[in-house]
Structure formats: structure tokens, C-alpha cells
Homo-oligomer: A and B are copies of this chain.
Amino acid sequence: MPEFLKLLPPLEALEKFLDAINAEPLREEIATINALGRVTAEPVFAPYPLPSFARTTVDGYAVRSADTHGAGESLPAYLSLVGEVPMGGVPDFSIKSAQCALIHTGGMLPSGADAVVMVENTQIAKENEVEIMRSVAVGENVLQIGEDVKKGEEVIPSGTRLRPSEIGGLMALGFIRVSVAIKPKVGIISSGDEVMPPESEIRHGQVRDVNTYTLGALIENNGGEPVSYGIVPDELEVMREMTARARSECDIVVVTAGSSASARDYTSQVIDGLGRPGVLVHGVNVRPGKPTILGVCDGKAVIGLPGNPVSALVIAGLFVVPVIEKLLGVSMKHIRPFVPAQLTVNLASQTGREDWVAVQIIDSEEGFLADPIFGKSNLIFTLAKADGLIRIPADANGLSAGERVNVFLM
């Protein structure tokens, strides 16, 4: 039997683990159009200001603001129209006193002009003469050079996961390629003599492999590249060889334990023999997932997950995802959104242990309710039927019906 001599709290276990991993994010340059969801490997600085020329934010007339002082509906200013600003070009005229030019949103302010009067506040008096019925201040309705972004400004920090808005920002500055962290390769080894590939006809007593696919999908969702090493039998030597191969070919290795107690022991033996320092954490004070093994072998993370699909997926969220993020260089500011809800029932838990409970969200008249999904089976459909997970902190001995909880969507 494995002896859990010391069960670390999850956060403490994670810190100890992350500290021992060598993470020098590797970078590659890719087309910006393919960079959605990727993580920047270096900060991006603006090579020139945005806007790079003074532009109007409205349709109207470019003017010298002084010419409009005192203008109103009852006493308009009359300016002579000297031209129309071409979209995408430089006006070939300038605005002198008592002159104005027609200008469209986004057009360049002609030299001499310092403000724009909205078309709604004007009227064509006669040919080439415009009535200005409202005064404007210097700079009114004008975007100045560098007002969005200054030349040399850091516009996207290193370690940013690129969203649609950053993809657009890069394009606005002409960066059609961007330097991003290479996706860490995460090797996945499933074990268990009873576990068969999903495509096989299974015999009585066998089950289909689930963990390779749930973990692969989780890794993909979080910016890693899953590499499947298939299912190994519960034999020490085979597991040792496969884990060594995965360690040499990947950046992170995940082994889901076989079902027997001896198979679970193999994982820690294998990790200890694979490189230094070997097993760092054997057992974490969390449910599900107590028999988690966190190891580092010559700088690379090797993680032993429980074989139960629910435990494996919950624990991978707690311990595999942060390693992927460290290798990607994801910056510290990392806010996980959630759905606040009210718990429907009392949930008991053991003080000192952190629990994660699968819940369905019910949209009721009093707001969202979090309804735990019970069932001792703890098989994969516990999670497939759930909307998310709630956390019972280690310092609580449970949660009460009606209490506010945060549901982290899966």
C-alpha cells in the first residue's frame, strides 16, 4: 500500500512543484492570423504612434476653432468651403482663417485646422459657404497623433494569451508575424490491464480508455500539445521504458495510474528512477485526487494522476494546467471567471482537506443554483453532466444549503 506520510495542501504542493521545474519558454515566429490563443514570447512595442496622423472622429467640417467662437444657432459663423478631405490621402490644401473643409470620419485633419464641427451643427448657406451653428474648442472631435498608442509604448506584454482584440492591435501596427511560446508537448500514458482503446470491441471485464482523451482535450484547451503514448500494461519495466521515452520526447509527462495498488506504486518508482530529484509530492490533501504524485526528473515535470477519470481530470486542472502555463510563460495576472450561485444542499467535508464537487447550474427565479451531482460511481458522466466545479476550502468542514458558491465552468 502506498503510504501517504505527508499530505500537502494543493496550493503548497503546487508551489513546491513549480519551483523545481526548469522553464525557459521556447519561442517561434508565426503568422499573426494564426496566433489566436497563443502566448506572446516577448513584449510588443509600438513602432509608430496610433493614430499616426490627426484624424476626425465625426463627419463634418474641419475648421480653425477660433473662427467658431461665439457661433450659435441664432448667430452662425459663415466659413468658406475650400475642399473635401480625401479618405486615405493627404489634403492638398490648408485651412486659413474663415475657411473650412468637408471631412469624413477617419479623415486627416488638414493643416491649419485644429477642430471639427459635426455636420449636424452646420448648414450649407449657399454654394461654397457653410453656416457653423456651434462653437468648437481646440482639438474637439479630433484624435491627436499617439492618442491611442505612443511610439515606443509597450502595447502587449510578454506572456499575454492573444485574444481577438490583440490580434487586431498587432494588425493595426503592421505586425503580420508575432513571436509566441512554442506549445509544450505533454506526453500522456494510460495504464491498466483492463483498459482498452475506445475503438476496440471490449470483452466482459474490460473498460475503454477515457483519460487519454479527457486529458488530451484539457491540454489542448490550455495551450499544450497532447502526445498520446497509448495504454501500457501494469508492468514496471514497460511503464519505465514508456515513461523514459515520453520524457525524452516531451516537455511534460502525465501517467494515469493503473488500477491495482502495485501499479500505483510503480509510478513513483518510475519517476524516482527517471531523473533528479524524482518524486517531490506523494499524496495531496484534496478530494478527489489524494494519490496524486508530482515529480520532476532533470527539470521536466512528470505527474502521476489517479486512474479514476473524474480524479484525473480535476487533478490535471490543478497541477498539469499550471505547468503548461509556466512553460508558456503566461503572465501572473490570470483571472478565472466563474458563475456565482447558491448551493442547493448541505455538503459535508473533512477539515484540512480541499474538496472539489461537480455541480449542475440551475437557472431559477432567485438566480443561479448550484446542484451537486452525487453518485459514488464518480465515473466520467459525473463530469459530462456537470456544468462546473465548486471548491470546499480546507479550513471549512462543509458548506450549507443556501450558501453562495463560485462555480468554475469546465
Residues of A within 8 A of B (CB): 1, 32-33, 36, 50-53, 57, 59, 86-90, 104-108, 119-120, 143, 147-149, 155-156, 163-169, 171-176, 192-196, 198-199, 202-218, 220-221, 234, 258-261, 307, 309, 313, 333, 335, 337-340, 361, 363, 368, 375-384, 386-387, 408-410
User: A106 vs B209: C-alpha distance in the bound complex, in angstroms?
Assistant: 13
User: A30 vs B327: C-alpha distance in the bound complex, in angstroms?
Assistant: 31
Of all A-B residue pairs in the complex, the 7 with the closest CB atoms, nearest first, are A88-B194, A164-B217, A168-B214, A165-B383, A337-B337, A106-B259, A87-B193
Residues A88 and B384 in contact, CB atoms below 8 Å apart: no
User: A221 vs B171: C-alpha distance in the bound complex, in angstroms?
Assistant: 18
Contact of A207 among B1, B106, B339 (CB under 8 A): B106
For A377, what are the chain B residues with a Cβ–Cβ distance below 8 Å? 51, 143, 147-148
Residues A166 and B384 in contact, CB atoms below 8 Å apart: yes
Residues B108 and A204 in contact, CB atoms below 8 Å apart: yes
Closest to A219 in B: B164
User: A53 vs B107: C-alpha distance in the bound complex, in angstroms?
Assistant: 73
For A148, what are the chain B residues with a Cβ–Cβ distance below 8 Å? 375, 377, 379-382
For A218, what are the chain B residues with a Cβ–Cβ distance below 8 Å? 164
Copies of the polypeptide in the assembly: 2
Given contacts A88-B194, A89-B203, A203-B89, contact A104 B259 (CB under 8 A): yes
Chain B nearest CB, measured from A209 CB (Å)? 7
Query: 17 interchain pairs (CB within 8 A)?
Result: A59-B260, A87-B205, A104-B259, A106-B194, A148-B382, A149-B379, A155-B381, A166-B384, A167-B216, A168-B210, A168-B380, A172-B208, A173-B208, A174-B208, A335-B363, A337-B338, A338-B338
User: A105 vs B1: C-alpha distance in the bound complex, in angstroms?
Assistant: 13
Residues B386 and A165 in contact, CB atoms below 8 Å apart: yes
User: A340 vs B105: C-alpha distance in the bound complex, in angstroms?
Assistant: 36
Contact of A213 among B32, B384, B387 (CB under 8 A): B32
Chain B nearest CB, measured from A145 CB (Å)? 11
For A213, what are the chain B residues with a Cβ–Cβ distance below 8 Å? 32-33, 164, 167-168, 171
Chain B nearest CB, measured from A140 CB (Å)? 10
Residues B340 and A340 in contact, CB atoms below 8 Å apart: yes
User: A381 vs B1: C-alpha distance in the bound complex, in angstroms?
Assistant: 57
Q: With A1-B120, A164-B410, A171-B210 given, can you name 7 additional A-B contacts, CB distance below 8 Å?
A: A87-B259, A90-B203, A106-B194, A172-B208, A176-B199, A335-B361, A335-B363
Residues B87 and A192 in contact, CB atoms below 8 Å apart: yes
User: A259 vs B104: C-alpha distance in the bound complex, in angstroms?
Assistant: 6
For A368, what are the chain B residues with a Cβ–Cβ distance below 8 Å? 335
User: A210 vs B143: C-alpha distance in the bound complex, in angstroms?
Assistant: 18
For A149, what are the chain B residues with a Cβ–Cβ distance below 8 Å? 379, 381
Given contacts A51-B379, A377-B148, contact A198 B211 (CB under 8 A): no
Residues B216 and A198 in contact, CB atoms below 8 Å apart: no
For A363, what are the chain B residues with a Cβ–Cβ distance below 8 Å? 333, 335
Contact of A384 among B36, B168, B234, B378 (CB under 8 A): B168
Closest to A263 in B: B104
For A333, what are the chain B residues with a Cβ–Cβ distance below 8 Å? 363
Residues B216 and A309 in contact, CB atoms below 8 Å apart: no
Chain B nearest CB, measured from A155 CB (Å)? 6
Residues A260 and B87 in contact, CB atoms below 8 Å apart: yes
